[in-house]
């Protein structure tokens, strides 16, 4: 079977899948808006402009979205898999959170990219053309630069790919690292760093209703000078955070109000101070934060947040009965940034 015949079969099945995935017909007067995230490795792989040109060669209706547009996000990743075969993955994510994924395998990166561009074009425009470039007529000594045959045991692309139906909801797992500042553990603001795992429920048709839960571990430390030495304060705490909604600001940026509670050990030490002693106290503090989440790509998210923390117990660190070095405030603040990776 030749490459052309394989991709003709792909056109038929992709066109059918497009009609199923989109419940409403596309108005010809409207232009589909999309964002493209493209990554490919290999010498024969086209670059992002070439992949975009392959989509536009089949339809001139879709256009790249402006920053303020609500748009479909198309993510493409092509890499070499086992046995030297090329594996291409395409994910389509709608603004309402619905997702579809396709996988294409082949011997050449250019063939895999061509098939993925065809799938993307048919999704964006069910009326897109699936016509391939005509094969050159064979001359006296055989074909002139015609593509080689596709062997049945190793087709360049699957003959009848069929995407899964978009689920009504799905759970997306993630993990990442965070850093920032925290008040209330010492006389000065303390730098903090930590890591986390989380999960969010993505519901099709309700882009704002995306409840998420995160478990995080943080370490913070600060110090201050006193008349006869130095005092240091450390906090090691775990926290659970829940964000019931995620309000879209622009298509790839969401506002997240969250509440949480942290628990751990708050330690104070002193150096160079007469009668110095180490003190370990319990830390329990509910919090309320607001953050912005920016989807840099289908897998990578950057976050910025700030909020208030209210320690339940106002711990006093002291020397002797009357010398207070530091007392935990009733309310303090926190802020930070995070990098999150999704496990799709």
Percent of the chain with pLDDT strictly greater than 70: 74
CB 99 within 8 A of CB 170: yes
**Domain covering 3-124 assigned CATH 3.30.70.270 in the classification:** no
Of residues 164 and 98, which shows the higher confidence score? 98
The number of CA neighbours under 13 Å toward the Cβ of 50 is 11
No. of helices (H) and no. of strands (E), the chain: 3, 16
Alpha-carbon gap, residue 27 to 19, rounded angstroms:
13
Q: Starting at the edge strand that comes first in sequence, how are the strands of the sheet with 63-64 ordered? A: 63-64, 33-40, 72-80, 86-93, 99-106
Q: Residue 169's pLDDT is what?
A: 66
Nearest residue to 175 (alpha-carbon basis) of 341, 3, 2: 341
If you average pLDDT over residues 99-126, what whole number do you get? Answer: 88
Torsion angle of C-alpha atoms 91, 92, 96, 97, degrees rounded to 10? -10
pLDDT of residue 153: 35
| Position 344 confidence tier, pLDDT thresholds 50, 70, 90 | low
**Cα angle for residues 266, 272, 275 (degrees, 5° grid):** 75
- Judge whether 106 and 156 are in contact, CB under 8 Å: yes
More confident residue, 131 or 18: 131
Q: For residue 243, give the nearest of 101, 338, 343, 344 by alpha carbon.
A: 338
Q: Which residues pair with 174 in a beta bridge?
A: 198, 342
According to the model, what pLDDT value does residue 160 have?
A: 40
Quote the tokens at residue 53.
């040109």
* CA-closest candidate to residue 76, choices 44, 104, 53: 104
Mean pLDDT for the stretch of residues 223-250: 88
Cβ burial, residue 184 (10 Å; 0-12/13-18/19+): buried
What kind and span of H or E run contains 11?
A: helix 3-21
Could you read off the pLDDT of 189-212 as tens digits, one per residue? 999 999 999 999 876 555 678 899
Q: At residue 97, does pLDDT exceed 50? A: yes
The C-alpha atoms of residue 95 and residue 183 are separated, in whole angstroms, by: 37
Q: Are strands 279-295 and 300-309 parallel, antiparallel or unpaired?
A: antiparallel
Q: When comparing pLDDT for 324 and 103, which is higher?
A: 103
Q: Superfamily for 169-343?
A: outer membrane protein from Thermus thermophilus HB27. (2.40.160.70)
Tokens encoding 183 = 């008040």
139 Cβ contact partners less than 8 Å away, ≥ 6 residues apart: none
* Average pLDDT rounded to a whole number, residues 232-242: 94
In the predicted model, is pLDDT for residue 252 greater than 50? yes
pLDDT at residue 130 in the model: 61
Residue that has been written with the tokens 């699957």 in this structure: 158
Q: What is the pLDDT of residue 223?
A: 87
Helix (H, G, I), strand (E, B) or coil at 327: strand
> Nearest 5°: phi and psi at 26?
-80, 125
Q: Mean pLDDT over all residues of the chain?
A: 78
Mean pLDDT over 295-317 rounds to: 91
Name the DSSP letter for residue 49.
H
pLDDT value, residue 307: 96
Q: Is 139 exposed, middle or buried (0-12, 13-18, 19+ CB in 10 A)?
A: exposed
Q: pLDDT tens digits for 6-56?
A: 444 444 444 444 433 443 444 444 567 888 888 887 667 888 888 888 888
- The whole-number average pLDDT for the span 227-244 is 89
Task: Give the pLDDT band (50/70/90) at residue 302.
Answer: very high
Mean local confidence (pLDDT), 336-342? 95
pLDDT in tens, 258-301: 999 999 999 988 877 766 678 888 999 999 999 999 989 888 99
Q: What is the mean pLDDT of residues 92-105?
A: 87
Confidence of residue 2 (pLDDT cuts 50, 70, 90): very low
pLDDT of the residue at 241: 96
What's the confidence (pLDDT) of residue 175?
A: 96
Average pLDDT over residues 119-129: 85
In the block, which residue shows the tokens 């005092």?
231
pLDDT at site 136? 35
Q: What pLDDT does 320 receive?
A: 63
> Token pair of 235, please?
């906090």
Domain extent listing, the chain: 3-124, 169-343
Is the full-model pTM beyond 0.85? no
Supply the pLDDT for residue 32. 77
Helix, strand, or coil (residue 335): strand
Percentage of the residues of the chain whose pLDDT score is greater than 90: 30
């Amino acid at each position: 079977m030749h490459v052309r015949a394989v991709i003709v079969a792909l056109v038929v099945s992709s066109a059918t899948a497009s009609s199923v995935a989109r419940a409403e017909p596309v108005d010809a007067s409207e232009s589909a808006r999309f964002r493209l995230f493209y990554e490919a490795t290999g010498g024969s792989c086209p670059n992002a402009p070439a992949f975009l040109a392959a989509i536009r060669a089949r339809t001139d209706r879709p256009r790249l979205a402006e920053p303020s547009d609500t748009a479909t996000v198309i993510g493409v990743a092509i890499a070499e898999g086992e046995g030297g075969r090329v594996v291409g993955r395409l994910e389509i994510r709608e603004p309402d959170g619905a997702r579809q994924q396709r996988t294409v395998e082949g011997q050449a990166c250019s063939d895999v990219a061509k098939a993925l561009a065809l799938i993307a074009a048919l999704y964006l425009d069910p009326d897109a053309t699936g016509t391939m470039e005509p094969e050159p007529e064979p001359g006296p000594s055989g074909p002139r630069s015609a593509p080689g045959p596709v062997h049945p045991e190793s087709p360049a692309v699957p003959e009848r790919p069929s995407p899964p139906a978009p689920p009504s909801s799905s759970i997306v797992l993630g993990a990442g690292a965070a850093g920032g500042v925290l008040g209330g553990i010492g006389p000065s603001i303390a730098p903090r760093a930590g890591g986390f795992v989380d999960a969010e429920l993505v519901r099709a048709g309700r882009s704002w209703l995306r409840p998420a839960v995160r478990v995080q571990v943080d370490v913070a430390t600060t110090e201050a000078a006193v008349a006869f030495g130095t005092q240091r304060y450390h906090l090691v705490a775990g926290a659970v955070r829940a964000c019931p909604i995620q309000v879209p600001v622009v298509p790839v940026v969401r506002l997240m109000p969250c509440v949480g509670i942290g628990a751990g050990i708050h330690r104070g030490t002193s150096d160079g101070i007469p009668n110095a002693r180490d003190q370990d106290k319990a830390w329990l503090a509910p919090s309320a934060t607001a953050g912005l989440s920016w989807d840099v790509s289908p897998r990578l998210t950057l976050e910025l947040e700030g909020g208030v923390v209210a320690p339940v117990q106002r711990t006093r660190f002291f020397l002797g009965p009357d010398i207070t070095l530091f007392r935990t405030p009733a309310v303090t603040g926190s802020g930070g940034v995070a990098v999150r990776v999704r496990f799709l």
